[in-house]
Homo-oligomer: A and B are copies of this chain.
Amino acid sequence: MIVRPYPNWLRMMLVIRGSVILDIAPQLIVTIGFAALVTVLRNSLIVDKVHLTFVPFSLIGLTLAIFLGFRNNTSYARYWEARNLWGTVLNDTRALARQALTLVDDHREAPVFVNRLIAFTHALRHQLRGTDAAADLARLLTEPERTRVRDVRYKPAILLVMAGEWLREQRRLGRLTDPLAQAMEGPMCRLGDALGGCERIAGTPIPFTYAVIIHRTVYLYCLLLPFGLADSIGGMTPIVVGFVAYTFFALEALSAEIEDPFGTQPNDLPLDALCQGIEATLLETLGRRDLPPVPQPVDYMLR
């Protein structure tokens, strides 16, 4: 079920977690403080020389809109593509489990195959987050399997080969004909595509230069802004600058957060929950009824 309902419109104004306000607090305080300083000193000699109108901000707004819009859209596209790839992992492990039960003649050994698929999903999660897969693999694999996987660099890729070896064994035993083995190559290849796709997103950030140029433009804009506003709106300057800076900084911070969707920040993908869900549905397909519990969201977000 979707993580809903949201809090009502009034309480939504007061949410802290999920507003990235804490991440951008330092910059925001500096910016507002500087704006207050400029406002107070606006008639002094030094500040008066830095005389601006709204026009420069309107002109720079042009490229800023292109940059921020691009950054935001690209980051979200990465996030959503990553989510789709994990969707593929779910779909194709499920398809393979179904096929192991209905295309292979004797399916008593299907759990061996399915366990390798579950191990694949956990290994993928650990590889993407740089964490240790050993505990999960110990739960799912036999001793010789574990030994084989322990020291390899690309664990999920090897686990996929091991799943393929189970299919080879079934073919050798005459339990799986060649045309049906061929049918199972479809989901096998798509699992490999999902693996490679996740590695691609994790290993290829948005070109660094975008981050640099956007960052500079946003901060220069916000630091110059008080000079353009103080004359016309006076004491409201720090509030308006704070408001503008909040939207800019928040947009930048959120983009940076979801650009790398496999992290563990609040808005990143809930890989733990996804793996748990895949494990549950695969076990249920095998006929098991003692499933792990459904993950519950905390503060409107899953882990």
Contacts and interface: CB of A to CB of B under 8 A. Distances in A.
Given A19-B212, A164-B101, A232 B55 contact: yes
B56 A210 contact: no
Contact of A215 (B12, B66, B197, B228): B12
A139 interface: no
A64 interface: yes
A180 to B, nearest CB: 6
A152 B291 CA distance: 10
B203 A2 contact: yes
Interface string A212-245: 1101110110001100110011111000100110
A144 interface: no
A209 B267 contact: yes
Contacts of A236: 50-52, 56
A63 B246 CA distance: 10
Contacts of A74: 76
A82 to B, nearest CB: 10
A147 interface: no
A301 interface: yes
Contacts of A260: 2, 4
Main secondary structure of the interface of A (DSSP, over half): helix
B12 A285 contact: no
Contacts of A177: 178
Contacts of A224: 243
A137 interface: no
Contacts of A164: 98-99, 101-103
Question: How extensive is the interface on chain A, given as a class?
Answer: 35 or more
A250 interface: yes
B181 A181 contact: no
A1 interface: yes
B54 A101 contact: no
A167 interface: yes
A99 to B, nearest CB: 7
A60 interface: yes
A202 interface: yes
A84 B81 CA distance: 12
A58 B62 CA distance: 9
Contact of A95 (B54, B189, B254, B294): B189
Interface stretch (A33-41, A86-94, A112-120): A86-94
The 9 closest A-B pairs by CB, nearest first: A102-B164, A91-B196, A63-B247, A178-B179, A207-B267, A182-B183, A183-B185, A56-B240, A87-B200
26 contacts: A6-B211, A9-B219, A13-B215, A51-B236, A53-B233, A54-B55, A54-B59, A55-B232, A58-B59, A61-B62, A62-B64, A69-B69, A84-B200, A91-B193, A91-B197, A92-B189, A94-B196, A95-B188, A98-B164, A98-B192, A157-B284, A157-B285, A158-B284, A208-B300, A208-B301, A209-B257
